[in-house]
Structure 1
Amino acid sequence: MPDQPAGSPELRGDCGNCFGLCCVALPFAASADFALDKPAGSPCPNLADDHRCGIHARLRDKGFTGCTVYDCFGAGQKVSRHTFDGQDWRTAPKEQARRMFDVFPVVRQLHELLWYLTEALSLPAARPVHADLRRALAETERLSLRPAEELAVLDVAAHRQEINVLLLRTSELVRAGAADRKGGKGSKGGKGGKGGKGKGKDRRGADLMGARLRGADLRGATLRGAYLIAADLTGADLRDADMIGADLRDADLRDADLTGAFFLTQPQLNAARGNAGTRLPRSLSRPAHWA
């Protein structure tokens, strides 16, 4: 797979070339994100005969916010058009349809890894590991193209662990460069702000739900897997921050600077709140529901 920008169409969901797999294969439970329960392998009642969502323009109003923040990273079209060669689950034998639903989440995970690896290769600071990243990218793409029988038993967790070693090294290189550019200066402060140099920059897996981080200097911070649900990040400086796996549901990103933030995905942004003043990486789009 050739290098491509992280925002390339191959790594974004293309519903027009998919048979609505995410609306069938994945389960969801009645909650703030979904208006009802749906088991895995059962079509969502809003799925139309043409595999499009019947309430797509009204998902949030109808209680399906979870659908608006989801992206398959292009796995849907690959499983639909490549793995199963354009076969529709509606007309396929039941056993074949079940296999489609089993394979889709596997390919989705592989495509998410492809997104991260592709972005890592676009980062100049990660040049020392570019060769390893290219090999990992090629191997992950090769795995995603395996036959359905092999994908169904693939140990994705083990592969993800191998990739994570490279992504961690990438993060260290990028954030070290950010620290050099920063010149060792401390936090710019800001009311309620946290950050600055030193231990405050490592927020891996931190519980920051509802945290007051307005105006915080989080340049070059690692927020890998941090829980930032409903956190106030208004005006925060998140340049060159590692955002992989950070939970941004309902986080306030108004006027925040995410320029250069890396391993940030469109689903994470879609789950947050922002405005016209929120500065984003070039590969990502401003969510339509933002003010």
Structure 2
Amino acid sequence: MLENENFSEITTAGKRLHMQGDCENCFGLCCVALPYAASTDFANHKDAGQPCSNLQTDFRCGVHTQLRQIGFRGCTVYDCFGAGQKVSQSTFGGQDWRKAPDTAKIMFEVFPLMRQLHELLWYLTEALTLQPASQIHDEVRAALAETERLTNLEPELLRDLDIAAHRAAVNALLLRASELVREAALRELEIPKGRRKTYGRGADLIGAKLKGADLRACNLRGSYLIAADLRDADLRKADLIGADFRDTDLRGADLSDSLFLTQFQVNAAKGDMHTKLPSYLTRPAHFSRE
């Protein structure tokens, strides 16, 4: 059994590597395809399809080491889940938009769709590691295989894909996995339901004072935790899919065993060296400074 578990961990780690951004093998797609507006996250405005003024001819960022200091914090938060190199090297066979300008428009249209698919791959891969959800693992594997198939479509087919319908189907499956895991965790914790705080999907917790809160196995899917105080909070087995962690204070918080947490969310938050993260996520550099 232990040998099989180790194999599963190795396989999962390998899959996650393909769902992490590899800027060296991308044509700067997040710096061109995506729009942004002047705000606390971006120093100026940029339209979709317009190259960022900091993008160099080799597709590297000219101000990469200074992004937060000069007002481009949003760039340090963003994570493409590996969609950039997939579109660049697979979908378009390594042909960049500068050398083949006729491909630029559809490449920029396909990139955000590929990112959505890769985000779903991230969640589905995690769902397969959740033992309490083993009864639906066959369905999860089927959804994972279908999502992977969609990532390999030709550009025109990708562009016309009904991504919303596919996301809805996958989300229903992920919700079932979450419910199974959280129900099992609640049984183990033996905490009466009446003594636990409950939050609905998309809960407005902006600026909430939740320091030291016991949020184990809570449903925080899609919740707005912008600038919330979660210092020393316990979020193990909490479903965090889609939760907005912009400027959330996670100093000392325990997210080591939370569900569906992404690098994108962690990058947007504030934390320190005492913030506990899942082993497959990287502690942002600004955690040690803020």
Contact 1:29/1:36, CA 8 A, preserved across alignment: yes
CA separation in 1, counterparts of 2:40 and 2:283? Answer: 23
Counterpart-to-counterpart distance in 2, 1:258 and 1:55:
31
Structure 2 residue 34 is matched with structure 1 residue 34: no
1:260 maps to amino acid: D
Task: Report the secondary structure of 1:4's partner residue.
Answer: helix
Tell me what 2:163 maps to.
156
Pair 1:201 & 2:198 matched: yes
2:229 counterpart of 1:222: no
**Cα displacement (A) at 1:6:** 8.2
Residue in structure 2 matching 1:56, options 64, 72, 83: 64
In the superposition, the TM-score normalised over structure 1's length comes to: 0.93
Q: Does 1:66 align with 2:74?
A: yes
Please tell me the residue identity of whatever aligns with 1:286: R
What residue is the counterpart of 2:209 in the other structure? 212
Q: What corresponds to 1:192 in structure 2? A: none
In the other structure, the counterpart of 1:288 is 285
Output the TM-score relative to the length of structure 2. 0.93
CA contact (8 A) 2:15 2:125 kept: no
Q: 1:133 offset after TM fit, Å?
A: 0.1
Q: Counterpart of 1:139?
A: 146
Q: Give the ranges of 4+ consecutive aligned residues of structure 1 lying more than 4 Å apart after TM superposition.
A: none
Q: Does 1:267 align with 2:264?
A: yes
In structure 2, the residue matched to 1:171 is 178
How much has 1:185 moved relative to structure 2?
A: 5.4
User: How far did 1:183 drift?
Assistant: 1.2
The CA distance in 1 between the partners of 2:13 and 2:69, in whole Å, is 33
**What is the CA deviation profile of residues 194-238 of structure 1, one whole-angstrom value per residue up to 9, with x for unaligned ones?**
xx42xx233421111000000101000010010000000001010
Contact 1:34 1:64 in 2 (8 A): yes
Higher helix share: 2
Q: What is the aligned-residue RMSD (CA, Å)?
A: 1.5
Aligned match of 1:190: none
Asked if the contact 2:206/2:226 (under 8 Å) is kept, the reply is yes
Residues 5 and 122 in structure 1, CA contact (< 8 A), matched pair in contact too: no
> Which letter does structure 1 place at the counterpart of 2:199?
D
- Separation in 1, partners of 2:188, 2:280: 23
Corresponding residue SS for 2:202: coil
Equivalent residues of 1:204, 1:226 under 8 A apart: yes
Deviation at residue 186 of structure 1 after TM alignment: 7.6
Ranges in structure 1 where 5+ consecutive residues have no aligned partner: 188-195
Code of the aligned partner of 1:249: R
Alpha-carbon distance between aligned partners in 2 of 1:162 and 1:134, rounded to the nearest angstrom: 13
Q: Give secondary structure in 1 for the equivalent of 2:285.
A: coil
Q: CA deviation at 1:285?
A: 1.2
8 Å Cα contact 1:3-1:121 kept in structure 2: no
Q: Specify which of 172, 175, 184 is matched with residue 191 of structure 2.
A: 184
Q: Percent same amino acid at aligned positions?
A: 61
In structure 2, the partner of 1:247 is: 244
Query: How many residues get paired?
Result: 279
Identify the residue that residue 233 of structure 1 maps to in structure 2. 230
Shift of 1:184: 1.9
Q: Distance in 1 between matches of 2:62 and 2:241?
A: 32
- Asked if structure 1 preserves the Cα contact closer than 8 Å seen for 2:78 and 2:264, the reply is yes
Letter in 2 for 1:145: N
- Kept in 2, the 8 Å contact 1:6–1:119? The answer is no
